[in-house]
Structure 1
Amino acid sequence: MSITPMSAKQLAEKVITKENLFILDVRNTDSYVDWKVEGEKVQSINIPYFHLLDGVEAVLEQIPEGQPILVVCAKEGSSVMVAEMLAEEGREVFYLQGGMKAWSDNLRPVKIGDLNGNGELYQFVRLGKGCLSYMIVSHGEAVIIDATRMTDVYLEFARLKGAEIKHVLDTHLHADHISGGRKIAEAAGGVYWLPPKDAVDVPFEYEPLEDGKKITVGASVIEIQAIYSPGHTIGSTSFIVDHSYLLSGDILFVDSIGRPDLAGLAEDWVGDLRNTLYSRYKKLSKELVVLPAHFMVMEELNEDGSAARKLGELFKENHGLNIEDEKEFREKVTGNLPPQPNSYQEFREINLGILEKDEEEQREMEIGPNRCAIR
């Protein structure tokens, strides 16, 4: 039997549509334990490639018969070799094109809803990394929020929508991945916006996102209202779009809250985090649909693969919003901080424009799970 490539896009559709999938991951065990393809109907095992150099006969009993197998490695090469050996044993085998690097880079656009005046709101879901970014399109104009470094995806999507990118915004200075915001703004001739408290002494020009600032999109005048909401970073800013959606950045997620420690100031910023969540957000309409900048686990996604919940639901169900005692909140937040994101200080420096890395170095830096939340 022959082997067949499977693209990251095809894999994403299988994960979202909950198709049964068996994965043989041949990366080193520590890489697999740290980060792997996950999904409700995804079953996977890890057998490092070096254990299979002499053949796959010894592991065939661990691999189910009668269903396709997807072999995954870091870049692709090892998975092709293992897939060929499995095919020789009569198995139906696929390999992941581009490996886990391609999985990390894949972006899947999902329409969130229609806005007033024929506008549209899209969420770009990065399944392999947990990043969420957004595009608002209205009357030939587009705004992008929290873009990843895969800038061509946004530029092409805007082109297909017949929209000119007028504004690009980042809710905060990202420390877990590389922002594509400034690069998109330069390519499209748009304006790049950044919270000024996160952008002290940056070497590039930007427009300051300040509390109460309003940006319009298209003739339908879809307002994006900035709300200063520190806690994850000192400059974190949320946006209310069309009086219907709350883009919460990395302050509030579907089933968790943002971490306050990526600048080494957890004890200082945990109070800001609580004030944003328990005071600023409490004053907002509970009918607002929360659209975060990340998701943590696949269970947070809706049937269509989007991450979105009404604010009122989160105040009932999200444990991070239900710790009434301030001392207990501080202790739980600072005492349950997850490991730091890989290369987080370098991410900050790249996004501040004070460090340069080539494209392949950037891809390598981003390999690994999302670690922006406190569960």
Structure 2
Amino acid sequence: MLKKYIKNIESNKYLKIIAEFSLLQFFFWSTWAIYGSYLVLYLGEIGYSNMRIGTLMSLRTFTGLIGPPVIGFICDKIESRKIVFIISMTLMGLIVAPFTFYGDWMLFIAIGVMGFLWEPQQSVLDSWIIETSEKTALNYGFMRAWGSIGFALVVTLFGLVIEFFGWTVHFSSYGLLAFIVVVISLMIEDNSYAKSDDSIAEPGKQKTNLKNLLKLLKDPEYLFVLFVTLLIFIPAMMIMVYLAPIVQAVGGDSRDLGYILFFNALSEAPIFFMAKHFLQKYKTKALLLFAATFYLLRTIIVALAVSPAQLIFYGLLQSLSFGVFLVTIRYYVKIIAPVGLKTTAQSITLMSAFGVGGIIASLLGGFLIDTYGMNSMFAVSIAFSLLAVIVILFSIIRKT
């Protein structure tokens, strides 16, 4: 009887943590929908050229290269993801809310600072969830699905907000949602650095220092993860950064962009809900190959699209590309990273995707569009996506 009672208490506690993190993911990704999805469109509407926009996006991703390892290392050093997450969200809310009042130089500074803070946030939150317990790690996809739902709803709503109320209301709303994220975060305990049996068994791996960080960066398995991530995300980020001009080129507007991003985000939810099952059933490299193949297919769809409606198919395949990729790569890194560098390893992986990949994509995409036209950007994107598929396939065959 007592054992059953204790089991029920543990079950209720587990469900409470799942619910709290699901709510946090919902509002966290709602903030991304406001800032990340419409920034390029805003810069275009205030008269910036594609090359100038690409430069600003490169600045954001350059500072985003610095942010993940620094912030991840700080989390591991002070052993608190919660404190770092809350401070970053507060600062970002204060920076983005008055966005429309900035001149060129302030906009330049704000985008640079946002890159430093913005890029590591999803890794910090995801590590907070994954490292809390084995149960939260296996159910990460379920919680992340609510982030996709929040993103989908807010990105659609704010496409209409821009049309009817303008950019000032749009960016001010970011500050409000950031405040909600902070309040929810304050209510959740950070138990993600509690000593596990693994960390006791392997005390050498508990240390968070530069020596162990260098060991991580020399690990062939981890280097493979970083390389494949880069190959996949250069073309993926090229399409995403310039999605607004692509939509406009086929006759769409901000509402069409909102609808495409709605399907883009909402399609992720079913895959995230199912993540626990396919992680247990399939090997990680097979799942990476699956995701890379659908990234290639999405790029081809965008290249062939002649109307905004056709780009919805690009959005719908987000689930089978990014959805599968994110859950797989998070779990893959959790397995291969040493205990004392879990957040650092997760942050560097996403830095490879959105940081290095983002810089190359922003500059190369802007240059190709302005110099040779949009079709040249599509051709280069398809080439990178195809190379990613070949590299993963070769790795699987070689190991077999």
Q: Is the structural similarity TM-score above 0.5?
A: no
* TM-score w.r.t. length of structure 1: 0.23
Structure number with the higher strand fraction is: 1
Greater relative CO (CA pairs within 8 A, separation 6+): 2
User: More helix by proportion, 1 or 2?
Assistant: 2
